[in-house]
């Protein structure tokens, strides 16, 4: 193994990793809370809100992320031109911005479905008990249902978070200078696959750290889900 060559690769790979983490964290910060209103909308008693939320979840979960990425980056400006050049400029985003917007909308749909399943897994008797105690529907959701839901959705949310790290590699298709693009550029320049092996190691390190964090979160919150043992 040529360590001198590896040293020449590391600056570009680490720079790409920084961009990968930027897309990852911004997507996570935006999509995690965005999924909740769509989850609540999907189980709302208001029919238009429920319909629109389910359509949103269905569209973004039912179409490839790569296709959504191309549509936001290439398709939206073209469609917006029909409304005028000022609208086309409004939707003509930089590739990194388009990537973050697309990933946020996509992962918010997945998180919304996870939240919805978690909320509906709570026994209906708790809703009735809260109603008997005089809690409003919103108070019941905020004080009783959602805290229990958090513990139940951590495992599937953690899986999606780990998947997000790997999905960031898709943004190379629109020219974002993330980790995979840095490795691909180095391979094309030097005709040497070493950069791909190094990129794979970096991805494995990132997913390993996230796996440890998710396990800690599961243990931390699962204590509230443990049944009381009889002595």
pLDDT one-digit tens code per residue, 62-118: 999 999 999 999 999 888 888 877 777 888 899 999 999 999 999 999 999 999 999
Conformational region of residue 63, where left means phi above 0, alpha means psi within -120 to 50, and beta covers everything else: beta
pLDDT of residue 225: 54
Per-residue pLDDT for 28 more than 70? yes
pLDDT at 229 over 50: no
**Could you report the per-residue pLDDT of 118-139, keeping only the tens digit for each?**
988 888 777 778 778 777 777 8
Q: Tell whether the model's pLDDT for residue 140 goes beyond 70.
A: yes
Domains and CATH numbers, the chain: 3-222 (1.10.3720.10)
User: Above 70 in pLDDT, residue 230?
Assistant: no
Pick the residue with more confidence: 202 or 87? 202
Which has the higher per-residue pLDDT, 231 or 47? 47
Average pLDDT of the chain is 89
Residues in the chain: 231
pLDDT of residue 209: 95
Task: Indicate whether 1 pLDDT > 70.
Answer: no
Select the more confidently predicted residue: 166 or 220: 166
pLDDT of residue 177: 87
Reported as a pLDDT band with limits 50, 70 and 90, residue 227 is very low
């Amino acid at each position: 193994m040529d360590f001198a060559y590896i040293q020449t690769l590391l600056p570009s790979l680490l720079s790409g990793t920084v961009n990968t983490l930027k897309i990852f964290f911004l997507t996570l910060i935006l999509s995690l809370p965005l999924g909740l209103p769509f989850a609540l909308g999907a189980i709302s008693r208001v029919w238009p809100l429920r319909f629109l939320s389910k359509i949103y979840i269905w569209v973004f979960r039912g179409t490839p992320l790569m296709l959504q990425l191309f549509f936001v980056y290439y398709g939206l400006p073209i469609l917006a031109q029909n409304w005028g050049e000022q609208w086309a400029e409004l939707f003509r985003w930089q590739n990194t911005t388009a990537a973050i917007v697309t990933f946020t909308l996509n992962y918010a749909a997945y998180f919304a479905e996870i939240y919805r399943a978690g909320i509906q897994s709570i026994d209906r008797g708790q809703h009735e008990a809260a109603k008997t105690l005089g809690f409003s529907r919103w108070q019941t959701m905020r004080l009783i249902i959602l805290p229990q839901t958090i513990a139940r959705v951590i495992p599937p949310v953690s899986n999606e978070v780990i998947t997000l790290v790997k999905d960031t590699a898709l943004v190379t298709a629109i020219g974002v200078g993330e980790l995979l693009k840095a490795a691909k550029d180095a391979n094309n320049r030097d005709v040497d696959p070493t950069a791909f092996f190094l990129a794979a190691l970096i991805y494995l390190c990132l997913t390993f750290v996230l796996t440890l964090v998710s396990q800690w979160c599961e243990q931390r919150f699962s204590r509230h889900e443990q049944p009381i043992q009889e002595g």
